[in-house]
């Protein structure tokens, strides 16, 4: 039985178009060019953060985040950056009696924004910076399991990346849903792992309530 649903953040709940567009602006690179190289780095199986070094070889993400904040242009996302299915999907899952969490590779600053946006909608919000462990580190998923009041095989982890979300969550003994959006899922969708590993492959988070209901009926 699936009793808890835990969501990744970037490209699962939050459309990062604004986020990376403003990074392109900060680098002084045309957005179209930055996004193309971003996809190329993912398709090459590299860490996406290497995209910054493609444009500025000595780029340090932590340092530049602080510089952006100091310049009054901090990384930011808000209600307008949420995918349109997020609010109705969370509401339906909660109405169905599922325990809900949000856990992703996020900064303390982003964790604060998430808490403002979702305080009343989920049972837990945890970030890699809070826990000192980032996906795909197994420790991240141990932390998710620890704060979720159910067994690992009663947790559904929902994310957009095979490498960071699906593969490590499956290794942790969780069920998974791969949502088909954002650069990673778009590039990885037809890979063997993307086809075989996830419990559910969905185009929208709105498919989850029905998928979970059917899964739990069969498990009974």
Per DSSP, what are the bridge partners of residue 157?
6, 176
- What residues from 7 to 46 belong to the interface with Mg ion (CB under 5 A)? 8, 10-11
Q: Measured from the CB atom, is 161 or 175 closer to Mg ion?
A: 161
Piece in contact with Mg ion (CB under 5 A), picked from 5-13, 27-35, 114-122, 199-207: 5-13
Report yes or no: 180 and 29 within 8 Å, Cβ to Cβ: no
Contacts of residue 25, Cβ cutoff 8 Å, sequence gap at least 6: 31
Q: Measured from the CB atom, is 85 or 160 closer to Mg ion?
A: 160
| 168 touching Mg ion, by CB under 5 A | no
Give the residue nearest to Mg ion (CB): 10
Nearest-angstrom CA–CA distance, 160 and 12: 6
Q: Where are the beta strands (DSSP E) in the chain?
A: 4-7, 99-104, 124-127, 155-159, 175-179, 200-202
Piece in contact with Mg ion (CB under 5 A), picked from 6-14, 73-81, 121-129, 141-149: 6-14
Nearest-angstrom CA–CA distance, 78 and 52: 24
| 160 touching Mg ion, by CB under 5 A | yes
Piece in contact with Mg ion (CB under 5 A), picked from 56-64, 131-139, 153-161, 188-196: 153-161
User: What's the min distance (Å) between Cβ of 191 and Mg ion?
Assistant: 16
Q: Looking at residue 8, what DSSP letter applies?
A: -
Nearest-angstrom CA–CA distance, 3 and 154: 5
| 75 touching Mg ion, by CB under 5 A | no
Residues in contact with Mg ion by CB under 5 A are 8, 10-11, 160
């Amino acid at each position: 039985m699936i009793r808890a649903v835990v969501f990744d953040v970037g490209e699962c709940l939050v459309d990062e178009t604004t986020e990376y567009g403003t990074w392109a602006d900060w680098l002084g690179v045309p957005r179209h060019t930055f996004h193309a190289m971003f996809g190329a780095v993912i398709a090459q199986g590299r860490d996406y953060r290497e995209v910054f070094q493609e444009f500025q070889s000595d780029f340090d993400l932590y340092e530049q985040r602080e510089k952006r904040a100091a310049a009054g242009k901090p990384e930011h996302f808000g209600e307008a950056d949420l995918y349109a299915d997020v609010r109705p999907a969370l509401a339906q899952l909660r109405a169905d009696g599922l325990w809900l969490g949000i856990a992703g590779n996020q900064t303390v600053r982003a964790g604060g924004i998430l808490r403002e946006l979702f305080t009343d909608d989920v049972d837990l919000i945890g970030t890699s910076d809070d826990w000192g462990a980032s996906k795909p580190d197994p420790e991240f998923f141990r932390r998710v399991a620890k704060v979720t009041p159910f067994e690992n095989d009663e947790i559904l982890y929902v994310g957009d990346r095979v490498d960071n979300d699906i593969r490590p969550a499956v290794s942790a003994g969780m069920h998974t849903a791969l949502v088909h959006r954002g650069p990673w899922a778009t590039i990885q969708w037809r890979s063997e792992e993307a086809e075989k590993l996830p419990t559910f492959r969905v185009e929208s988070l709105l498919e989850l309530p029905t998928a979970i209901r059917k899964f739990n009926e069969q498990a009974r």
